Amino acid sequence: MARGDGLITHDDLAGYEAAWRDPIVFSYRGHTIISMPPVSSGGATLAAIAGILTGFPLGELVYHGPQHAHLLAEAWKRSYADRNAYLADPDFVAMPLAEMVSAEYGASRRSTIDPDRATPSSEIGPGLGTPEREHNTTHLSVVDAEGNAVALTTTINSFYGSKVTVGGAGFVLNNEMDDFASRPGFPNQYGLVQGENNAIEPGKRMLSAMTPSIVERPDGTLLYVTGSPGGSTIITNIFQNISNVIDFGMNVRQAVNAPRLHHQHLPDRIQYEPGALSAVTVGRLRSMGHVVEERFSPTAMYPYIGDVQAIMIMEDGRLEGWSDPRRGGAAVGY
């Protein structure tokens, strides 16, 4: 750090301890989902999305038809508006977590969705009032022979982090500071427009979107272990991944491979992976008032959203693992 004119001291590192946080646990159509609590926004935002969408019969809709894509986008916009305003390091800010994930709030957020029209993001604010304080990444999923499950996402933020290596030490420094709102109200590298709650303060942890998640069947048995990299797209990706299993009855390979959609409140547009939406559906969504864009990148890597590593536990106890073909990784058995 000193060699590179960095700010972090030996005392900062010595004073840093991993903190135990209780997971976010919520139910979705009778299934129990166990996911990552703050300082990731993943589990709470996933729960908020599920709380809105549980009121719609997703599994009866045409997969990635206009109604399905519309409802996803409308739920995501509302949930990211709340995420960006409220969520942050629980040691520093009070958050309306219980309300955000409650059935009543889900129902009230749901009631503002027009089935035929996109609500512009400019008309969607955080739904629980002003926050009290006015003033590269990898996922792995494991299930062992005893049925214990681990969903683990780890991040240095961008590819190669800050791109600074520590000579002789064998690791690169992350650029996690961009997960803070370094300038509240302005977009970070993922386009997330976040508020004062997540502003930089000494000793504070930055707000993540990591969403490592474990899903239990209504009878309490283990069904699914999942997670992904992907910055701001992780939460919507993992909602779709879980919904693909619960609502659409997909197997693990189908659930992971299915092309993905994304909306994060701002910028106000639905993005879709190449091939995810038909031209007819894009036209219909536009006529409903959505801005719809295919993800595009000259580098070919970024049109794709995330890189899910998932395991499904079959009724007979067999495990089916699948590694997303979008980036890298592998599924291995024992």
The minimum distance between CB 296 and ligand DON, in angstroms, equals 17
Contacts for 47 with CB less than 8 Å, ≥ 6 apart: 24, 26, 33, 35, 100, 101
Element (H, E) at 46: helix 42-53
- Contacts with ligand DON by CB under 6 A lie at 136-137, 155, 157, 179, 208-210, 229-231, 234
Nearest-angstrom CA–CA distance, 303 and 294:
8
Using the minimum distance from each CB to ligand DON, give the nearer residue, 31 or 139.
139
The minimum distance between CB 30 and ligand DON, in angstroms, equals 29
The minimum distance between CB 64 and ligand DON, in angstroms, equals 23
3-state secondary structure of 288: coil
Using the minimum distance from each CB to ligand DON, give the nearer residue, 216 or 324.
324
Nearest-angstrom CA–CA distance, 14 and 295:
42
Region of 118 (left: φ > 0; alpha: ψ -120 to 50; beta: rest) is: beta
Using the minimum distance from each CB to ligand DON, give the nearer residue, 149 or 206.
206
Q: Which of 45, 54, 137, 153 is catalytic?
A: 137
3-state secondary structure of 292: strand
154 annotated active-site: no
Nearest-angstrom CA–CA distance, 151 and 227:
7
The minimum distance between CB 319 and ligand DON, in angstroms, equals 25
The owner of tokens 């909306």 is 263
Using the minimum distance from each CB to ligand DON, give the nearer residue, 66 or 212.
212
| Cβ–Cβ under 8 Å, residues 35 and 224 | no
Rounded alpha-carbon distances, angstroms, from residue 45 to 111, 142, 251, 310: 18, 23, 24, 20
Using the minimum distance from each CB to ligand DON, give the nearer residue, 156 or 291.
156
The minimum distance between CB 67 and ligand DON, in angstroms, equals 29
Question: What are the catalytic residues?
Answer: 137
